[in-house]
Every structure is written in C-alpha cells, then in structure tokens.
C-alpha cells in the first residue's frame, strides 16, 4: 500500500522505528506495508515499511536506500528523521556497521555505544537555522533504549563511536589517533542522525555490528569494502535477531524525558 502522507491508522504510542545501515535493507516479510512520504527536506532514502515485532508496530527505513544508492555523506538524514516522526515514531533503534578501534572487539561483536564524536564536515545537521535553538547533547543516546539493548546476552555495553565523513576509510595514522583518544568504534553514519533525532524529540540508540578492525589496529592490507559487506552478511541473521529482541524489551508506552530538550522553548518551526 502506498500513501503520500502519514495515515492516522499508523500513529500509535507503541510505534517504534528502525533505521538500518549497510547490508540491512529489509526487516519484515512480504506482509509489511510500504508508505511513501515526502518532507520539507525532500523524500527519505526509501519508502518506509511498517510491520509488527511482538507487541510493537515497527516502521523500518533503509538508511542507504533499498539498493544502497546513498553513500554516507549523501544520505538524506533530515528527510529520514522527519519522515519517521511524521509517521508517528518517537523511539528509534539505529543498527549500523562499524570498525573496531579496540583489538578486543573483533568482527562479529555487537556493541551499544554510549558516546559519539563527530568528525564529519558539511552535513546538514539541524532543523533550526534560526531561532537560537540549542539542544542538550552531552549524552547523545536514549538511556531507556540503550538499556533495552544492553541487557541482552552477548551485547557489549558502552564505548565512544567516532563518526568520520567517508566514503573513504581511515588511514592507519587516523585510526591510531582515534584509538589513542579512547574511541572504541569508527563509523560513517552515526552523525547527524543522532542529533536530528534529539532535535525532533525522538529517543534514539545505536546498535553496532563490528565488521573489521580498523587500519591502524592490525597489520595487513587495511579495510576493504568487499570484506566489510561480507562480514555484515555473515552476521545479518543474528544481528537482526538482536534488534528484534531489543524491541521486545522496550515498554509499550514511552516514559523517557531525557530526549525532550525543548521544554519551555518556543520553536521557530512546528514539529510534525
């Protein structure tokens, strides 16, 4: 079913969002319904599919498009997050592929980061170009959603994720520098997705699948895209299962106040 707007029957207090990363292009079977939305920032990466996971209705959007047509620096992040909120989503998990800056976290590890470092440039990372709006971002991830994921067996809790511009991978010197700063993961899409969610007062937590050790962490040829995608594919079934299990741990009703930064503030635009 295709629609041009956000149909009222989709809006629900239990509607969760999942924005999938590289290799994560689908989430439901053929029974899911597809919804096409437009936004003031253009169309999102792909139509949003809506299905059910346990007691939750879930909206899924492939971050890079259904055929991976968007590189990390060209993803329409503002349109993606706006479309999710317009649909009624208020809580989002962001599965993503990451490189490891910690030799103890090898390929296949699943990590829920607790901090973010932005090393991107030129990305449109706000909805508020006027009005003097400044959101609190000291703790960028929703504690409630993080708790739902970190309580699962085998999940690594915590670590700073540095987000680089891409689409190239890091040099050995860069990855050694990142590791020396105490950063644990490196990724290309974790920003501005996280801060845009905060501006739209949506809870957000990343769930990261380690696909490789970054170039400066081990000797060898360095990171290759073909190896990253192959590792993601090898771990796709358990990674999707982990996201399903995290969703099952989320309360039906949202109670988080950490991700509501606009209390007492008059916004220059109306949120969808």
Q: Pseudo-torsion of CA 260, 196, 194, 169, nearest 10°?
A: -170
- Which residue in the block uniquely carries the two structure tokens 């629900």? 12
Query: Is 212 annotated for ligand binding?
Result: yes
Q: How many residues does the chain have?
A: 272
Q: Cβ neighbours of residue 5 under 8 Å, at least 6 residues apart?
A: 37
DSSP-assigned letters across all residues of 121-183: -S----S-SSS------SS-S-HHHHHHHHTSTTEEE--EEEEE--SSPPPHHHHHHHHHTT-
Query: Is 81 annotated for ligand binding?
Result: no
Query: Is 214 annotated for ligand binding?
Result: yes
70 SS3 class: coil
Rounded distance, CA 41 to CA 253, Å? 29
- Nearest CA to 46 out of 37, 55, 54 is that of 37
Query: Is 38 annotated for ligand binding?
Result: no
Q: Decide if 55 is catalytic.
A: no
Considering only the C-alpha atoms of the chain, give the largest distance between any 2 of them, rounded to a whole number of Å: 54
Q: Decide if 214 is catalytic.
A: yes
Query: Is 22 annotated for ligand binding?
Result: yes
**Catalytic-role residue among 102, 114, 118, 214:** 214
**Catalytic-role residue among 102, 114, 118, 212:** 212
Facing residues of 60 across strands?
A: 18, 49
- Nearest CA to 184 out of 153, 202, 208 is that of 208
- Contact predicate 69/44, CB 8 Å: no
Query: Is 188 annotated for ligand binding?
Result: yes
Catalytically active residues are: 212, 214
Instruction: Cite the annotated binding site by residue number.
Output: 22, 63-64, 188-189, 212-214
Q: Write out the binding residues for phosphate.
A: 22, 63-64, 189
Residue stretches of the annotated binding site for substrate: 188, 212-214
């Amino acid at each position: 079913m295709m629609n041009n707007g956000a149909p009222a029957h989709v809006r629900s207090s239990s509607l969760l969002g999942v924005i999938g990363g590289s290799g994560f292009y689908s989430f439901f079977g053929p029974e899911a319904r597809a919804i096409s939305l437009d936004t003031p920032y253009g169309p999102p990466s792909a139509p949003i599919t809506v299905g059910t996971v346990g007691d939750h209705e879930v909206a899924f959007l492939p971050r890079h498009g259904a055929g991976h047509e968007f590189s990390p620096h060209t993803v329409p992040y503002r349109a993606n997050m706006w479309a999710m909120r317009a649909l009624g989503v208020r809580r989002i998990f962001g599965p993503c592929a990451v490189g490891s800056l910690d030799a103890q976290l090898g390929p296949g590890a699943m990590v829920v980061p607790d901090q973010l470092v932005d090393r991107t440039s030129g990305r449109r990372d706000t909805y508020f170009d006027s009005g003097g709006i400044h959101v609190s971002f000291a703790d960028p991830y929703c504690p409630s959603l993080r708790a739902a994921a970190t309580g699962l067996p085998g999940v690594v809790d915590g670590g700073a994720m540095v987000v680089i511009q891409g689409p190239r991978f890091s040099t050995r010197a860069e990855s050694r520098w990142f590791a020396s700063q105490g950063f644990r993961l490196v990724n290309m899409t974790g920003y501005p997705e996280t801060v845009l969610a905060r501006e739209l007062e949506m809870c957000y937590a990343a769930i990261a699948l380690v696909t490789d050790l970054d170039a400066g962490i081990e000797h060898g040829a360095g990171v290759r895209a073909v190896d990253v995608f192959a590792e993601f594919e090898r771990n796709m079934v358990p990674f999707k299962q982990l996201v399903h299990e995290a969703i099952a741990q989320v309360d039906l009703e949202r109670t988080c106040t950490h991700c509501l930064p606009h209390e007492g503030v008059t916004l220059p635009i109306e949120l969808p």
